[in-house]
Structure 1
Amino acid sequence: MVDFIADYYKNIETYISGSSLRFNLDISIPASLEPPGTDPNPVDAILKDIQNHMIPGMTHWLSPNFFAFFPATVNIAGFLGEILCTCFNSDGFNWLAPPAATELEMIVVMDWLANMLKLPRTFMFSGSGGGRCHSKYNKRSCSCYSRGSKGQIRTVLEADVAADVANDFGLWVHVDAAYGGSSCICPEFRHHFNGIERVDSLILSPHKWLLTWQKCARSS
C-alpha cells in the first residue's frame, strides 16, 4: 500500500488532470469491487484494479496540470499527520470527544497561524477570539447579501470603508480570505491585511497554499 501511494506521487505528473470518464457512463466493475463475499480479495488485486479502473477516472487534484477549483497542495508532513489522525479515529465535534487534540488545535496551532500572519491578539485563542465561529453564521449572512444592491456594495468596497460603515451600525464584518489569505504570512503581502483589526471574523484555508490536507481550514 505504501509503495502504491509512493508510486502515485512519483508519477503524478504523467496523469492528465481530468477524468477520462463521461458522465453517467456505465463501466465494467472489476471483480475486486463486486459485493464482498466470505473470502477476501488479495491486496495486490485490489490495488491493480484501482490502478487500471479508478485512477483513469479520477480528477487528479495534485497534478501540476490541475488548475480548476482551487489549489490542493500537500507535502509529506501533512500526509503523515493525516495518517496519525486516522490512527486515533476520533471525531472532534466537541472538547470532550478528543480533549488533548482539541486543545492542541485550538490553543497551540491556531495561535501559531495567527502569529505567522501577525494578526491582532483578539484573533487568538489566548486573546478574545480564535477557534471556530458557530456553524450557522454563514447561513445568516445570506440575508444581508440579498438586501444590498451590487452597485452599492461595489462602491463601498472600492472606497475601502466597508468596515467603517459596519462599525457605525454595529454590523458583523467577516473577511473570507480562504483562497489567498495564507500568502499574507509573507511580509511582502502582509499589507493586504491592513485594517484587519476592524473586522469581527476571518477565515483561511491552509489546505490551499500551506501544504496541508484538504480538511484544514481556520476561522477566527
Structure 2
Amino acid sequence: MSDTPGTSAGTGAEDYEHPISHEDFRQLGYKMIDAIVDYRSNIEKHPVRSEVAPGYLAEKLPESAPTQPEGLDAILSDVQTHIMPGITHWQHPSFFSWYPANSSYPALLGDMLSSALGVVGFAWIGSPAATELETVTLDWLARFLRLPNAFLSTGTTGGGGVIQGTASEAALVALLAARARALDGRDPGADGPRLVAYTTDQAHSCVKKACAVAGIQHLRLLPTSAERGWALDPATLEAAMTADEGHGLMPFFLTTLIGTTSSAAVDPVAELAAVARRHGAWVHVDAAYAGVFACLPDQHDLYFQGLEGVDSFSTNPHKGMLVTFDCSALWVQNSFWLRTALSLEPQFQFAGLRHAAEHLDYKDWQVPLGRRFRALKLWFVLRMYGTERLQAYLRHHLDMAKALAQLVEADPAFDIIATPRFGLVCFAPRGASEEESTALLERVNASGRTFMVHTRLGGRHVWRLAVGGVHTQWRHVEEVWALVQKVVGGGEA
C-alpha cells in the first residue's frame, strides 16, 4: 500500500473518491453559470405565475433516489422539464405580487463563496471573519440607512446588528429580549402570564406567531382606520396599556410598523415609542420591506423619524436591496437583554477558546445555534453596487410607483384605496363587488403576463401592485397597467 500523504496505509480502509473532482467542478460551474445567465436573460419568456396543480411533481420524479451518480446535463434537463413549470418567477420584471425578493449577481457570487467556504459561524472561533464581517457590514448598512448611533457596534450603549433569516425571526428575537428585560428580578411563573404585547391589526402574522412561540398569553391587535392611513393612533395605544395595567397586567412589548404588508402604512413611531416608554415596554420597529428606503434622505425625513426612542429595528435587504434571500437585518440599542434571553454555553463548544472575554458570538443573538456566512452576500452587494447606485435603484422604483399611481388616479374606472408609499400602489375597480373584483384579478393573473395579490382594507377587496423587481423597467409597469385596464374594461387578457 502507498505511504504517500492522503492514503490509508496501514488502516485497512480505502480512500473515498468523490464523483466530482476539483477540475470536474470547474467545468460544471461554467455550465451552471451559463444556465443561470440564460434563465435570467430570457426570464420574460416564462409565465410569471406557475399554473401547476398541487402534487404535480411526485408523479414526474422517481420514487427513490438514484443508486449511481447522475450527470449535470440530465439534472438540468429535468429542471427544464419538471421544475420550471412549478416555478413562480419572483425575479420576473412583471412580478408585482407580495413584496419583491430581489436577487442580484453580486449576491449570487457572495452566496456561492459562502457555500464553498462551508463555515458554521455560531461562535467567533468557528470562523472569526464570519463574525467580524457581519459586525462591520451591519455597521455599514446602519450608517447607510442613517440609523441612530446607538445601533452601531461602536456605540456606547452595547448595541449592534445581526443577520436573521427573516423579519419573523427578528420579531421573535426582539420579543424574547423584551421578555427577559420585563421579567428581570421577577418570578417568571407568577409574572410571565401577566405580560402583554401590542401591535396593530395591520401587523404581519409573525407577531402573533412570536407570541405563541414565546408563550405570551396576551396580544392586543389594536384597530386602525382609513382616516389615519391605517396607522396606529398613539391615543389608542395609551388607552390599551392603561386599561391593561388597571387589570394587573404588564405591558412589555410594542411592535410598530413602517411599511405594512397590506398597504405600506407607516405608524407614528416617535409618538408611539413615547407612550410605550411611559409604560415600560420595549419598542420594536418592523420595517421588513420599507426599511431599506431610509437610505434616501427624503424618505428618511418622511417616515423614519423617532428611531432614537426604539429598542430594536429590523429590515430585509433580501427584499429591496438586491441581497439574495435570506438576509434580514436586526439592530438593537443594547444587546444585553438579547444575550440574556438566548445565551447558552455548553462546555464542548468553547473548550480551549482564547480571547474569551473579547469576542462576540452571534449564537447568542438568535434562536438557532448554527448560522451561514450570510454577511458575504451583503458585503458583495454593498461593494459591487456602491451606495449611490443602490440609492438610484431604489429611487427608480419610487419613481415608477409614483407614475403608476398617477395613471390609476386619472382613470375613473379605479379607486386608489391607500396612500401610495415606497413601491406599493393599492387600488380597486370602482363599483365592483368582491366576487367581481376577485374574478377580474384572477383573469389578470391567469394571463401569465403578471402576478399580483389582493388584500382587504376597510372590508374591501383591494389589488396590490408592488413595484420593485430587480429587472423591472417602466415599460413593464405600463404593460401591466394596460392589461389591467383591458380586463376591467371587459376585454380579453
TM-score, length of structure 1 as denominator length: 0.87
Residues 1:11 and 2:48 are matched in the alignment: no
- Once residues 26 and 155 of structure 1 are traced to their aligned partners in structure 2, the CA distance between those partners, rounded to angstroms, is 48
The 5 A counterparts of 1:174-213 are 174-191=284-301, 192-213=303-324
**Which secondary structure state, in structure 1, belongs to the residue aligned with residue 220 of structure 2?**
coil
Q: 1:65 to 1:95 in 2, by over 3 A?
A: same
Q: Aligned residue pairs: how many?
A: 217
Partner of 1:172: 282
Instruction: Give, as a single letter, the amino acid of the residue that structure 2 aligns with 1:214.
Output: F
Q: Distance in 1 between the 2:308 and 2:269 partners?
A: 18
TM alignment of 1:80-119, pairs within 5 A: 80-106=109-135, 108-119=136-147
Q: CA deviation at 1:51?
A: 0.8
- Say if 1:16 and 1:65, in contact at 8 Å, map to a contact too: no
**Larger Cα-atom Rg:** 2
Partner of 1:63: 92
Paired residues for 1:137-176 under 5 Å: 137-138=174-175, 143-145=196-198, 146-148=218-220, 150-151=222-223, 154-156=232-234, 161-176=271-286
Helix, strand or coil for the counterpart of 2:110? helix
Q: 1:90-129 CA deviation, whole Å, 9 max, x = no partner?
A: 12223232211111111x1011011111111101111131
SS in 1 for 2:314: strand
User: SS of the counterpart of 2:76?
Assistant: helix
Question: Any idea what SS the aligned residue of 1:161 has?
Answer: helix
Change (3 A) 1:69 1:96: farther
- Does structure 1 conserve the Cα–Cα contact (< 8 Å) formed by 2:153 and 2:161? yes
Does residue 125 (structure 1) correspond to residue 153 (structure 2)? The answer is yes
**Which whole-Å deviations, capped at 9, do the CAs of 1:165-212 have from their partners, x for residues lacking one?**
111122100100111110110111111111110111000101111111
Contact (CA 8 Å) 2:91, 2:101: kept in 1 or not? yes
Separation in structure 2 between the aligned mates of residue 73 and residue 26 of structure 1, nearest angstrom: 26
CA distance in structure 1 between the partners assigned to 2:223 and 2:39 by the alignment: 48
Structure 2 distance, partners of 1:118, 1:138, is: 24
Deviations 1:1-52 (A, max 9, x none): 2211111111112212221211134654356x952113x2221111111011
Counterpart code for 1:202: F
Partner amino acid, structure 2, of 1:23 = P
- Structure 2 residue corresponding to 1:23, chosen from 38, 45, 54: 54
Q: Structure 1 residues 154, 131: closer, same or farther in 2, change over 3 A?
A: closer
2:53 alignment partner AA: R
In structure 2, relative to structure 1, the CA distance for the partners of 1:27 and 1:193 (3 Å cut) is: same
Residue matched to 1:51: 80
* AA partner of residue 72 (structure 1): A
Gaps (5+ residues) in structure 1? Answer: none
Q: What is the TM-score normalised by the length of structure 2?
A: 0.41
C-alpha spacing 1:45/1:216, structure 2 compared with 1 (3 Å): same
Distance 2:82 2:299 in 1: 44
Identify if the C-alpha distance between structure 1 residues 30 and 116 changes in structure 2 by more than 3 Å, giving closer, same or farther: same
* Distance verdict in 2 for CA 1:77–1:136, change over 3 Å: closer
Alignment partners' CA distance in 2, 1:134 and 1:193: 18
> Which one has a larger percent strand, Structure 1 or Structure 2?
2
Query: RMSD of aligned C-alpha atoms?
Result: 2.6
Paired amino acid for 2:309: R
List alignment gaps of at least 5 residues for structure 2: 1-31, 163-169, 180-194, 199-217, 225-230, 235-266, 332-493
Structure 1 residues 12 and 34 mapped into 2: Cα distance closer, same or farther (>3 Å)? farther
CA distance in 2, matches of 1:117, 1:201: 14
**TM-aligned CA deviation for residue 158 of structure 1:** 6.0
Q: Write the deviation string for residues 117-158 of structure 1: whole angstroms up to 9, x where unpaired.
A: 111110111113112379543367894134436249932156
